Amino acid sequence: MVDRDDTRWERWGAIGGFLFVIGMLLLFFVAGDPPENATTDQLLQYYRDNEAGVTWWAYVFVTIGGLGLLWFVGSLRSALRRAEGGTGRLSAIATVAGAGSIVLLLGAAGVFIASALSAVDPGNTNFEFDLSTHEMVVGAGFGLFLYHMVLAGALVAATSVLSIRTGVFPAWFGWIGIVLAVALLIPGVSFFALLVYWAWVVVIAIFLLTGRGIRAAPRMMPPA
C-alpha cells in the first residue's frame, strides 16, 4: 500500500523533470554557439562577448537541470520499483543509469565552464590561449556528454522494458522508448535524439504528476 505522504512527495519530485528540461533549454539559449573554424582571436572574442552566458549562467542552469534530474530519477525509481516487485533488477538499472548520467552531465559542464573561465579571467595574466589545447579540452567535455547520453539511453531502456512488461506506463510509450534508447547509444544520431529524450522526460513527469506509475502495483513478470 502506498503512503499518501510518500505519494505527494513523489509527485513533487516529478517536477524535477520539468526543471531539468528547462535548465537544458536555457543553457543552450544563453551559451550560443562559437563560430565555426574560428581563429584564436575569434574564439576569445566569442567568450568575452558571451562571458556571463558561458560561465555563471551556464553554471546556474546546469545546476538547476542536474538537481532537477536527480529528483526526477528518485520519483521514477519509486514508481518502477513498486511496479516491478521481486528483486527490482530493472528499476535498479534505471536508477544507477540515471544517477550516472547526472554525474557525466555535470562533469561535461564543468569542463566547458572551466575552459570558458580560463579564457575570460582577467587575473589569469600568465595564461596563453592555445587553440589546439582548447579543442582537446572541449573534446573531452563532449566525450563526457556523449556518455551522459549513453547512460540516459540505459535509463530510457530500463523504464521502457518495465512499461511493456508491467504497464507502469503505457506499453506504446515503452516501444517508443526502446527506439529512443537505441538512438541515444549511437554517436552522431544521439545528438539528434537529445530533444526527443528531453520530451520523454517531460512525458514521464506528466505521467507521474497525474498518478500514473505512482498507483501501480507489482505484476508477476516472466523471468528476464
Summarize pLDDT for 33-50 with one digit per residue, the tens. Answer: 777 777 777 888 888 888
User: From CA 116, how far away is CA 51, in angstroms rounded?
Assistant: 8
DSSP run (H or E) holding 197: helix 189-209
Half-sphere exposure of 47 (CA within 13 A, CB side): 20
Grid cell 505522504 in the structure block, residue: 5
- The grid cell for 94 is 534505471
Mean of pLDDT over the chain = 86
The answer as to whether 218 is a domain residue is: no
The answer as to whether 23 is a domain residue is: yes
Considering its fold, how many domains does the chain have in total? 1
User: What would the pLDDT profile of 70-123 be if each residue is shown by its tens digit?
Assistant: 999 999 999 999 889 888 999 999 999 999 999 999 999 999 998 888 777 766
Domain span at 123: 4-209
The answer as to whether 148 is a domain residue is: yes
The answer as to whether 64 is a domain residue is: yes
Largest CA distance in the chain: 65
Query: Can you tell me whether residue 219 is helix, strand or coil?
Result: coil
pTM, to two decimals: 0.86
The answer as to whether 117 is a domain residue is: yes
The answer as to whether 153 is a domain residue is: yes
Interacting residues of 37 by C-beta distance below 8 A, sequence separation 6+? none
